């Protein structure tokens, strides 16, 4: 008997598969117009959005629910950010049809987008190890496809780096399996299988290396500034806005359930140190960079550092048996991911419009020719900086708050890091609003920018606070 939840899950999983295959097929086999492709992909995209919205609705009303024999866990923690990611996907698809003439490219990028949302959805919700790994591969492949679709020298170089480093990191995920993660069963939290603490730590290290690569956790982040700088802006918008959402949420869920089975003080301390290194590296390195996408890349690394502060809070809550702390921390991760997905993807779209590897000087005086887009970019950056009442502020607030009881020092360092980051965000904004400028005309994606900026504001002035009690991870 197929229940509502199962049917819904199959719908949400099926749509992207059908959509990506269909788009690729009709573009490569038949001579169709761009409009047809646009209609098909937006229709499927909206159907996917509705499906995920319904999943999120179920998760929020019932607090938790599950599908496919507990293979997928629906909780507010994962479904709401994925809903935002699927919305970002619509913006991404729309931007493709506005800006790209080459139909084959459009089809590849659209298909990559659909696969990315599918992989993200599965990663974020699953507790099955097998599904986690297969979705991980799908996520990686769709990301390579998006980066590699553009055929310039720089983007090819970036795609190659991305692929090689990705393969390397996937190796570590396989090694994670090798520690025996799979032995007691497919479900990550099925039973206590880590006999010795050392084995658990080894498993954590492998998982951290494998997933941390994608997130940009120090010291696995080396590829990131290069790839984010030289790849096409829209591809990075897809990665940061859609793919990374699944990676963050999946990582948080896996490490939390794993930890729940084999708690270890050492791991918490270790992740705390990694988070400090990650955000400090990101923020310091961003200070002197003059390339716009590179600044954004370093800031991405720093943002992951903040999210890891929340992971520390969550694990600490689990280790001392404080459920409230777990709720707070996981909601913080969820909100921060939402803010990250919106602000970062839109910023990369913006950066892409300035050209590949654009200098920050290219932003000079944009507010005179397109003040709305300039103001929107300022809002993205301010949200990343964490200015109230934008989404980024609430994310950081809850993340940092959750870690206070673990270590006040960690939170102080995180706050100091936020302070440091205000320098490069502030510099970008001041360039944006400076008097002199030679730009003409309005930007292509200004509608997208306006929508995202409005969302960042509106979500921050009440909606997230209302949702907050429902955004927590499903505890065991």
Partner 1 sequence: MMDLVILYLLAVIQPFIFSAIISILYSVKKLPGYLSVFSLIMSTISSAYILYSIIEKSLNGVLSISQFSNISFSLSFFVDSYTGVMMVLVSFLSLVIAIYSLYYMDGDEGYGRYFAYFTFFVGSMLLVVSADNLLLLFLGWEGTGLASYALIGHWRHDEKERMIGEEGRVVANTPMFSYPSVSGLRALLFTRVPDILMLIGIFAVYAYTGTFEISNIFITKAQFLLELARTGMLLPIMFLLSIGALAKSAQFPFHEWLVTAMTGPTPVSALIHAATMVKAGVYYMVRITPIFVYGAKELLAENPAIGQVVIAQVQTFYYGLMIIGAITAFSLASMALVAREAKLILAYSTGSQLGFMFAGIGASIFSSMPSLVLAFVVAHLIAHAVFKAGLFLGAGIYIHSNESRFIDEWADVHKMRITTSFNWLLVLSLAGLPPFIGFWTKDSLISSYLSSGMLIPASLLLITVLFTAFYSTRYLLYSHRYPAKEEEPHEPPVYVLSTYGILAILSIGLGILWPLFGEKLFEFLSYSFLEPIKGMTGEELTVIVSSISLVLIGILLSSLSYQFKFIDSKKVISSMPELNDFLRDRWLINILFYNIGVAFLKLGELTYRFVERGLDLGINYGLPKLTSNLSKYFRKPISGDLYSYVLYFVTGIIIVILVLLFI
CB of residue 198 to partner 1, shortest distance in Å: 6
CB of residue 381 to partner 1, shortest distance in Å: 18
Number of Cβ within a 10 Å radius of residue 1:
3
CB of residue 71 to partner 1, shortest distance in Å: 30
Spatial distance between the Cα atoms of 316 and 271, rounded to a whole number of angstroms: 11
Strand partners, 65: 74
Structure tokens at 305: 């550092």
| Residue 28 or 222 having the CB closest to partner 1 | 222
Spatial distance between the Cα atoms of 346 and 352, rounded to a whole number of angstroms: 10
Angstrom distances, CA of residue 38 to CA of 21, 109, 118, 263, 306? 14, 12, 19, 49, 37
| Residue 3 or 419 having the CB closest to partner 1 | 419
| Residue 26 or 201 having the CB closest to partner 1 | 201
| Residue 78 or 204 having the CB closest to partner 1 | 204
- CB contact set of 425 (below 8 Å; sequence gap of 6+): 299, 381, 382, 384, 385
Torsion of CA 319, 321, 323, 326, to 10 degrees: -10
CB of residue 254 to partner 1, shortest distance in Å: 17
CB of residue 283 to partner 1, shortest distance in Å: 9
Strand partners, 73: 66
- The residue behind tokens 């599904």 is 131
Q: How many CA atoms lie within 13 A of 71 on its CB side?
A: 14
Structure tokens at 102: 């080459």
- CB contact set of 156 (below 8 Å; sequence gap of 6+): 148
| Residue 149 or 165 having the CB closest to partner 1 | 165
CB of residue 181 to partner 1, shortest distance in Å: 16
| Residue 186 or 226 having the CB closest to partner 1 | 226
- Rounded to an integer, what is the distance from CA 388 to the centroid of its chain? 21
Number of Cβ within a 10 Å radius of residue 104:
12
Report the Cα–Cα distance between both ends of the chain, in Å, rounded: 27
| Residue 163 or 464 having the CB closest to partner 1 | 163
Spatial distance between the Cα atoms of 208 and 254, rounded to a whole number of angstroms: 10
| Residue 336 or 421 having the CB closest to partner 1 | 421
Do residues 181 and 203 touch, judged by C-beta distance below 8 A? yes
CB of residue 287 to partner 1, shortest distance in Å: 4
CB of residue 132 to partner 1, shortest distance in Å: 20
| Residue 34 or 427 having the CB closest to partner 1 | 427
CB of residue 160 to partner 1, shortest distance in Å: 7
DSSP assignment of 38-62: HHHHHHHHHHHHHHHHHHHHHHHHS
CB of residue 147 to partner 1, shortest distance in Å: 14
Structure tokens at 69: 């024999």
Do residues 137 and 170 touch, judged by C-beta distance below 8 A? yes
Residue 475 Ramachandran class (φ > 0 left, ψ -120 to 50 alpha, else beta): beta
CB of residue 428 to partner 1, shortest distance in Å: 15
| Residue 164 or 183 having the CB closest to partner 1 | 164
Which chain residues interact with partner 1 by CB under 8 A? 160-161, 164-165, 168-169, 172, 198, 201-202, 204-205, 208-209, 213, 218-220, 222-223, 225-226, 266-267, 270, 281, 284-289
CB of residue 400 to partner 1, shortest distance in Å: 21
| Residue 53 or 201 having the CB closest to partner 1 | 201
DSSP assignment of 168-198: HHHHHHHHHIIIIITTT-SBTTSS----SHH
Spatial distance between the Cα atoms of 332 and 398, rounded to a whole number of angstroms: 5
| Residue 220 or 340 having the CB closest to partner 1 | 220
């Amino acid at each position: 008997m197929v229940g509502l939840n199962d049917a819904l899950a199959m719908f949400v999983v099926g749509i992207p598969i059908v959509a990506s295959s269909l788009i690729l097929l009709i573009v490569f086999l038949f001579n169709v117009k761009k409009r047809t492709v646009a209609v098909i992909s937006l229709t499927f995209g909206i159907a996917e959005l509705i499906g995920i919205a319904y999943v999120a609705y179920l998760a929020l009303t019932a607090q938790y629910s599950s599908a496919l024999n507990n293979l997928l866990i629906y909780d507010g923690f994962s479904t709401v950010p994925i809903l935002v990611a699927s919305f970002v996907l619509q913006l991404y698809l729309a931007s493709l049809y506005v800006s790209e003439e080459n139909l084959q490219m459009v089809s590849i990028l659209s298909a990559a987008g659909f696969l990315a949302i599918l992989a993200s959805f599965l990663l974020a919700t699953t507790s099955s190890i097998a599904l986690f790994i297969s979705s991980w591969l799908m996520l990686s492949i769709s990301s390579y496809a998006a980066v590699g679709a553009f055929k310039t020298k720089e983007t090819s170089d970036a795609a190659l780096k991305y692929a090689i480093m990705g393969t390397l990191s996937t190796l570590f995920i396989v090694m994670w399996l090798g520690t025996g993660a799979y032995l007691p069963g497919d479900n990550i939290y099925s039973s206590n299988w880590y006999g010795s603490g050392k084995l658990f730590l080894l498993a954590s290290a492998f998982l951290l290396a494998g997933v941390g690569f994608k997130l940009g956790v120090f010291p696995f982040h080396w590829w990131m500034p290069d790839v984010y700088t030289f790849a096409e802006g829209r591809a990075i918008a897809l990665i940061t806005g859609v793919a990374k959402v699944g990676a963050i949420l999946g990582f948080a869920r896996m490490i939390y359930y794993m930890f729940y089975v084999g708690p270890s003080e050492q791991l918490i301390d270790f992740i705390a140190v990694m988070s400090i290194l990650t955000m400090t590296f990101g923020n310091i390195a961003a200070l002197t960079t003059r390339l716009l996408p590179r600044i954004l890349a370093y800031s991405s690394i720093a943002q992951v550092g903040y999210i890891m502060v929340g992971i520390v809070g969550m694990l600490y809550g689990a280790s001392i048996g404080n459920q409230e702390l777990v709720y707070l921390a996981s909601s913080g991760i969820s909100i921060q991911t939402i803010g990250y997905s919106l602000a970062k993807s839109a910023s990369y779209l913006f950066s892409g419009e300035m050209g590949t590897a654009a200098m920050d000087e290219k932003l000079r005086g944009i507010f005179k020719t397109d003040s709305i887009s300039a103001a929107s970019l300022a809002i993205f950056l301010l949200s990343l900086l964490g200015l109230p009442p934008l989404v980024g502020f609430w994310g950081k607030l809850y993340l940092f708050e959750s870690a206070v009881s673990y270590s006040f020092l960690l939170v102080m360092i995180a706050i100091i890091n936020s302070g440091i980051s205000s320098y490069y965000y502030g510099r970008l904004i001041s360039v944006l609003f400076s008097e002199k400028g030679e730009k003409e005309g309005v930007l292509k994606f200004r509608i997208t920018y306006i929508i995202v900026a409005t969302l960042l504001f509106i979500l921050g002035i009440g909606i997230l606070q209302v949702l907050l009690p429902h955004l927590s991870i499903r505890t065991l």
